[in-house]
Structure 1
């Protein structure tokens, strides 16, 4: 096994610096050095706080803690995100930075800590998105942390079988997050946070990264509660499939598997171009995600059961009712001209279940005779593509008698009605960023009510490890439905769950 201390480094005691803070912007002394934040609306905010060294010199290798500094580093602006295909204001391989919002820096305050991991699968995303702003949660007497980390090939390209220098590759994006959690454990007291009460929450790919960490020994003890928002990871990529993806990626770049030296000097933009390689297992762009490398990840997170390491951690799992409305354009070719005759064929390619699409359509029409073909398309593709992973994980934890709660977001966009309650809806409601650019919740009374209900439950979970509704057990399947009026319903989509449980679910990227 690797020396897990090697990429963490030795720690120094933290002290806050109230004398500096009293003169203006807050200054805190961390284990690495002093940082200066800003005051915003009654909060102390620190953006662009370094938790790891520049990864450009350590491509495809585990991260290491920063070198100490003597001067006061500014922490008043977001740092660059990891290079990626998605458009971002700024990207750099030097991307191991986090951001903190806190009501105050009294060491004795010991406020719950909420650490958010952004979505974007394992390939894209950034916590600089205004939808992820932590100010509303922090104003509720919480310390909020958001984290950038390596993505796509920079975080998950599997080279361990080709070159011993890259023994940690395939999971270095996960190791970045573990390094960030260690930084928080060792530093957050100086920001008024409780290192013994850290809740990790993440949406989409962020949730999947959390599910994966619950099976990683290096993450043990670094967080105490977990929320996955429309993000699951039942199985990781096996080393054989990961090696096939690596071969496709190297082929796209024209790099020989027997000489990986060009990867270390190649412009990062070229590395991103390599992601256009065709995935040999799934088709489409090549998938990069956690690898069952038997070094850092020794078992699948939720197969054949829930990883025992995570079963003592209280966990909330959620999804949105209309997940696929975020992925499939209502004005695009799959929906344009949709009717009962072509519905099964158009739906078939969007399912990850090997069931006859005609039979699925018939079942939906029998249960919902008033639904349109479009509504059935989105319901079936959500239930057969985006939702099953959450069901598998919740059931696995229920069988292990692990403390588990399940929610579903039913609140529909009032500003874009055809989007319904799509993937990403829960980000805005949980952060309370209803008026941020990119939000499609609106700021009306309904959105405020749904957001208040979701924030209240998330914060109760952070404080007590219990959101205040019944745990998910197989005899009841209690589910909180967040909407204008929120409430608990038992097994709200039971017949859909039972229908798609007839065949195995294909985990993306496995």
Structure 2
């Protein structure tokens, strides 16, 4: 039976819900609503609560359209009506799951950044949940950030005014990380043991943050699932000139010439034009920008110079992942080769890197171990999935949750495991297979 639980944050009292062995706090604002003059602007710290804040319900998700109603991911993750949420610019919220009665325990903390190609996705998708982590003694926070044109619009004139432009979505992630770092002790968390983690564009985002001086002081481990900012094989970032070319095309589609004019247009109109723009590009038109602020230089240069956060890393792919050449194996794909390249660079810095491959074909279809398929297992949410999961699936999920939470606790996935997972950097090539 659910009961009320309360914490005292720097912004005031927050009420959550205590369940069987864990507590959940939903929809906590970590920034002001990014509308009006704050549209396309860096996030601003939220106001303090005038009275106790009831964190009982998930909030709106970032502006986006679901453009493939008959696709694999629609059925896999988005068909459940209990996880349908309205879209809104008012989307900068986070959610926290904690073990019950943890106020003074200083537990490890994981911060999840969702994927979606920097174009869509949200922190409250069906497959994301922190119950399994909480029951392993880890606090999980899932965070939202602006996507598509709302989160990754670069403008040279804005840079002249602010000193930087673009990367609004990344700045949202950093703002959420700052909120967590400053307040998680009230929830029983240890701000000196935070793991940043993500999948696909969320992994790319997490990877960017491990290079960013704005974020690295708050990051102590990183988990990158099917994503590296150094992928494809060229980095998944834009120069300022490349980003400005995308912006100029967007202005043309909207019939405007400035951010100020865009701020006066309805959000739905901007979203429609954002969809039009995305249809014009074979690859992602909205992506991180090498701005000298969030991202000091290209990932390649920073990697060669040892400019990554000097922390443990856990990285991997799925067997039927994206960006695998026809007829090739997943170990020849863009995600995996980028992970190996980064692991080799970390080896030179004496940083532990643990590599994995998820090779388990999901039951119920012939889609195999597709991109994102491991999420049911790494979050232990198989009971939410439409597929006929077996005892073997549940055992695999338990193994993966144990490895992930062990890594979050100590930077090493080998606590309470049957088989040692050797670090790539120590063994010279060990890859853990989940099958």
TM-score between the two structures when normalised by the length of structure 2? 0.87
1:423 aligns with 2:366: no
After TM superposition, give the deviation of residue 39 of structure 1 in Å. 1.8
SS in 2 for 1:310: coil
1:261 CA drift (Å): 2.0
Q: What is the aligned-residue RMSD (CA, Å)?
A: 2.4
Structure 2 counterpart of 1:148? 144
- Work out whether residues 170 and 289 of structure 1, in 8 Å CA contact, stay in contact via their aligned partners in 2: no
Point out where structure 1 has 5 or more consecutive residues left out of the alignment: 1-22, 325-349, 353-376, 484-510
Of the three residues 388, 396, 406, the one matched with 2:345 is 396
Aligned to 1:409: 358
CA-CA distance at 1:308 after TM superposition = 3.0
Structure 2 counterpart of 1:477, from 422, 429, 435? 429
Distance change (3 Å), C-alpha of 1:24 and 1:466: closer
- In 2, Cα distance between equivalents of 1:64 and 1:91: 20
Choose the corresponding residue for 1:59, options 39, 51, 55. Answer: 39
Q: 1:475 to 1:140 in 2, by over 3 A?
A: closer
Q: 1:298-323 deviations in whole A, cap 9, x for unaligned? A: 11234463563434111111110111
SS in 2 for 1:48: strand
Residue 42 of structure 1: CA displacement?
Answer: 2.5
Structure 2 equivalent of residue 248 of structure 1: 249
Deviation at residue 113 of structure 1 after TM alignment: 0.7
Deviation, structure 1 residue 105: 4.3
Q: Distance in 2 between matches of 1:381 and 1:106?
A: 41
- For residue 191 of structure 1, report the CA deviation from its aligned partner: 0.8
Is the 8 Å Cα contact of residues 115 and 145 (structure 1) preserved in structure 2? yes
Instruction: Measure, in 1, the Cα distance between the counterparts of 2:256 and 2:400.
Output: 48
What is the count of residue pairs matched by the alignment?
A: 406
Aligned equivalent of 2:80 = none
Counterpart Cα distance in 2 of 1:76 and 1:155: 26
Matching residue within 398, 412, 423 for 1:452: 398
CA distance in structure 1 between the aligned counterparts of 2:108 and 2:406, rounded to whole angstroms:
10
Report the equivalent of 1:314. Answer: 312
- CA–CA distance in structure 2, aligned partners of residues 65 and 320 of structure 1: 37
- Separation in 2, partners of 1:180, 1:471: 30
Inter-CA distance 263–473: structure 2 relative to 1 (3 Å threshold): same
Partners of 1:215 and 1:307 within 8 A in 2 = no
Aligned partner of residue 211 in structure 1, secondary structure? helix
Measured against aligned partners, the alpha-carbon deviations of 1:413-446 in whole angstroms (never above 9, x if no partner) come to 1221x21111112211110001114x54x43121
Partner of 2:25: 46
Partner Cα distance (2:225, 2:219) in 1: 17
- Counterpart CA distance in 1 for 2:327 and 2:129 is 30
Instruction: Say whether the 8 Å CA contact 1:134–1:431 is kept in structure 2.
Output: yes
After superposition, residues 324-403 of structure 1 pair within 5 angstroms as 324=322, 377=326, 379=328, 383-403=332-352
